[in-house]
Chains A and B, each alone.
Chain A
Amino acid sequence: MSDSFFGFDTTLPPLNSDQLTGLEGNTGEQNDETEEEDFERKFKEFSLLPGEDVGAFDDEQNFDLSAQLVETGDDLNDETFGNVGQDFDFMESTAKMDSIQKEEEIYVTRRESNNNSENFDEQAKRRPSYAALWGNDTDGMINGNGKGIHSNEASPISPSIWGSFHSPSNRKDSLTLVQDNSNIPGTFEIPQHYTPPQTSPPPGFGLPSHPSNRLPMSLDEIEAQLYRQPGLPEKRIYSLAEVEAAILGINGRPPPSQQLPIHPATEAVFREQETIAYLEQEYKRREKQRKLAEMSRYNGLMTQSDKDFINRIQISQLVTDDPYADDFYFQVYTAIRSRQAQPQMSAFSPHLGGAGFMGHERGRHRSRGSESGLLKMQQQVLRIVNDARRKPKLTQLSLEGALGKIALNSVRNPRQLLQVSSKHNDIHHHAGPSGGIHQPHQKVPSISSHGIVDHRKVLRSIENVYTAVLALEELRRNQPPLPRYAADHEREVVEKWNEEYTELAVTMWEELRVTEMFGVSILSVAKGKKVIPRVLRHCLPDQILTLITMLVANFEALDVCKCVIWGPQGIISPVMLEEIELFMNTVVPPLLQFVAEAPMRIVLGLFGLFIERNNIVWVARSKVGLAFLTMFLSRTEILKQGGGTMQGLPLPEERELLQWQELYNRLFNLLQNHFLPLFPPFNIGLDDMYVWQFLAAMAVGASTEQQHILVTEVRERVLDTVMQASRLSADKASHKIANVNLFLNALGLDASQLKI
């Protein structure tokens, strides 16, 4: 487990027997074997007995340990960073385990001696103790069958656990023992059946699945039986399939006469199933035990302070002052996740998820009331961050007397292959995009065509806008709380923040160059469109008005207008359609919101400017142009009907109403005879709802005479649409009809009244 984790070479020579004896404590066995045997047996007991005991005993502590190993989640992380408790220390707990196992072993062997004294009398005389007997018995299994089972899946079984059994004398012993047992298959089954089991066995259970203490023995015996019966050579290594086949073969045989009086065939089936199930279970258990034993080899290699030290190194690599810059996706992800999960767990702010890596005030004042462990970890992290801040980050270290320099590399400071002066970057970093210090750029005469250079300038401006927007958003996230008390330092913080924010906002605004035609070019690039909603969030109402005025005045120049007019051929590239959608989804909504709150005076001003500056007949054929017109018309209509009073706006004055009427008439006159071409070509499958919306807005403000003109002009389209709807499926048809009704209802009509 730990060998590669810390990058250390942890393969140490195995403990010697003295150490092992010390580790295991006195078990009270009579050690009359040779030292070598003793050593091996210790190993065996260490690696195997726990496996047997896990199943045999419902020992709580025992269970505890395995649960920790498998299921310990991050909930114990706090302890990783604080004083690691007992439960994290493998050495101590395994040592404890060991003594428990010893006790259990003694218990088992005692029980064993009670239960099996008649059967094993002979062996008992031969062997010094039952513990030794057990050890050797299983030993034989491992060398013979056990190895065969593991040969496919678990070949890297460490030699120090099992491999050291191959001492010839020992092996011979164990094999003879196995033979003794397995040659009399009936005898060893009796005690199992009549041993009072600790938990009652399910009805119809065969022998191997008794959850009693005898159970490990029974498996071994079965294995031994399997191993002996087919008469295969001992040393042969079985594949798993072979073993299974062998099991089937044995279990198909009639059971020994001592068995309970169950029908032989049924019993065979039962036994077969249970044996297989049991073998699987046992295999898993052993695997777990093996891993445990493997891990325990490294117990006690590191002291607590070593572990703390390494923890600190690892955490300090991850700690950052600016989690949004260094760990952006994680931060956003947790923010989104926690927003979804807010109702249940409001205590967990978005930052707690990443708390380990944020380490500043934000983490501190939001974690109030959460668990103490979390606090502890955060404190530790804070300390690390502060330490890191205090010590400037060294990139090199030259020791006295050393010939070279030692590079200190880290995640943030990877090994540099090139030494390029980063002066420019530093200045840029401190001055920010506001560019307090302008680098004296050489004027390179531009060779390339003007179009390309201009495009590149636009791209550059957009990037600058993005830089500013990102910085502003970062500032917003770090906005200091409003001072509750008259504390001077708090107010200072807020003031400083305001200053920074304003400065950045100005920079951003300047980069947009709204007042120049350049702003239009920015809006002609997809990412320029995308940034608008984010920009407007940091804008003052005045600035939004400026932007919208610029747009209205230069509408013709926008790509979404000039490239998207439905000509007679009616072809627009799909790329352009995407651009329109983007514009409608990004730029229009904030503007719409602004207009929806604007007073009559401003709306009329924009409306007038739009009609004044653009070729309306042409512009109105673009979707966006028409959307603008609809926006102005519907807002003025709402204001005319007194909708503005709810927003605290006064009713439009007489003068304004007159102005509106003038503008409307002008628009109507301009569009007269051009209403039908506003529609996109009929049969290209585009949704023409926006045109119907516009016509509806026109119809509402129209005089009776104008309404008549309107109806006459678009009558054909209305009829076509209704006819088309009658041929379409129900939901599509209803959509079409609803579109037409937008217009007809504004006139006080309905599509159902039409007679085709």
Chain B
Amino acid sequence: MTEETHTAPVEPAAVEEPLDLVRLSLDERIYVKLRGDRELRGKLHAYDGHLNMVLSEVEETITVVEINEETYEEVIRTQKKTSEMLFVRGDGVILVGF
């Protein structure tokens, strides 16, 4: 995640602010971390200033922590879903990885 903060010295046009970096990943596969212990990996088709996004061929990973009733042990379980096309509302986005 640290690489995005660099401003490469060569081209001035495409990247002016942090959000512009997302533009570079249009049509590429990205990683999105969401609130509620959810993660998405998919191809970015569109985004806006709120980080609303349209992703395709998405794999969603939901992490669930279950506490065993008797032993009070935490069991971490992941659940995977795939979607062909997904609209992600920006208010749930924590970070975007390229």
* Chain A residues near B (Cβ < 8 Å): 420, 424-425, 428, 433, 435, 438-439, 441-444, 446-448, 452-453, 456-457, 459-461, 463-464, 467, 511, 525-527, 530
Contacts and interface: CB of A to CB of B under 8 A. Distances in A.
B15 interface: yes
B27 interface: yes
A452 B9 CA distance: 15
Nearest to B21: A456
B12 interface: yes
A464 B13 contact: yes
A438 B12 contact: yes
Contact of B14 (A420, A439, A460, A525): A460
B14 A464 contact: yes
Contacts of B25: 459
A443 B9 contact: yes
Given A446-B6, A456-B3, A441 B28 contact: no
Interface string B10-29: 11111111000001111110
Given A459-B25, A463-B24, A444 B11 contact: no
B93 to A, nearest CB: 17
B72 to A, nearest CB: 43
A391 B24 CA distance: 36
Given A463-B23, A526-B27, A527-B27, A456 B16 contact: no
Contacts of B10: 457, 460
B13 A435 contact: yes
B76 interface: no
* Nearest 6 pairs of A and B residues by beta carbon: A527-B27, A459-B24, A463-B14, A433-B13, A444-B6, A448-B3
Given A527-B27, A527-B28, 13 more contacts: A425-B16, A428-B13, A433-B14, A441-B9, A447-B3, A453-B3, A459-B25, A460-B8, A460-B10, A460-B14, A460-B15, A464-B11, A530-B27
A340 B79 CA distance: 46
Nearest to A428: B16
Contacts of B12: 428, 435, 438-439, 441
B7 interface: yes
Nearest to B6: A444
A463 B26 CA distance: 9
6 contacts: A439-B12, A442-B7, A457-B11, A460-B15, A460-B24, A467-B13
Contact of B17 (A424, A447, A511): A424
Nearest to B15: A460
A604 B7 CA distance: 45
Nearest to B28: A459
Contacts of B3: 447-448, 452-453, 456
Interface string B48-68: 000000000000000000000
Contact of A444 (B7, B14, B27, B28): B7
Interface string B65-93: 00000000000000000000000000000
A740 B47 CA distance: 48
Contacts of B11: 457, 460-461, 464, 511
Interface residues on B, range: 20 to 34
A223 to B, nearest CB: 51
A527 B23 CA distance: 12
Contacts of B24: 456, 459-460, 463
Contacts of A511: 11
Nearest to B13: A433
Contacts of A463: 13-14, 23-24, 26
B20 to A, nearest CB: 8
Task: Pick from B7, B8, B17 the residue with the most CB of A within 10 Å.
Answer: B8
B9 A527 contact: no
Nearest to B25: A459
A424 B16 contact: yes
A467 B14 contact: yes
Contacts of A439: 12
Nearest to A433: B13
A53 B26 CA distance: 63
Task: Pick from B16, B25, B26 the residue with the most CB of A within 10 Å.
Answer: B16
Given A460-B24, A527-B27, A444 B9 contact: yes
Contacts of B6: 444, 446-448
B56 to A, nearest CB: 12
A442 B7 CA distance: 8
Task: Pick from B2, B24, B25, B28 the residue with the most CB of A within 10 Å.
Answer: B24
A456 B13 contact: no
A442 B10 CA distance: 10
Contacts of B15: 460
B22 to A, nearest CB: 11
A460 B2 CA distance: 17
A464 B12 CA distance: 9
A442 B12 CA distance: 11
A460 B7 CA distance: 11
B98 to A, nearest CB: 8
Nearest to B4: A456
A438 B11 CA distance: 9
A456 B28 contact: no
A331 to B, nearest CB: 17
A414 to B, nearest CB: 10
Contacts of B17: 420, 424-425
A446 B13 CA distance: 19
Nearest to B10: A457
Contacts of A446: 6, 8
A195 B12 CA distance: 89
A421 B13 CA distance: 17
A456 B8 contact: yes
A511 B16 CA distance: 17
A440 to B, nearest CB: 9
A176 to B, nearest CB: 62
Contacts of B9: 441-444
Contacts of A448: 2-3, 6
A448 B2 CA distance: 9
Contacts of B2: 447-448
A453 B9 CA distance: 11
Contacts of A452: 3
B46 to A, nearest CB: 11
A496 to B, nearest CB: 22
A444 B2 CA distance: 13
A441 B28 CA distance: 26
A526 B44 CA distance: 13
Nearest to B23: A463
Contacts of A460: 8, 10-11, 14-15, 24
B69 to A, nearest CB: 45
A280 B10 CA distance: 74
Contacts of B13: 428, 433, 435, 463-464, 467
A447 B27 CA distance: 25
Contacts of A425: 16-17
A134 to B, nearest CB: 57
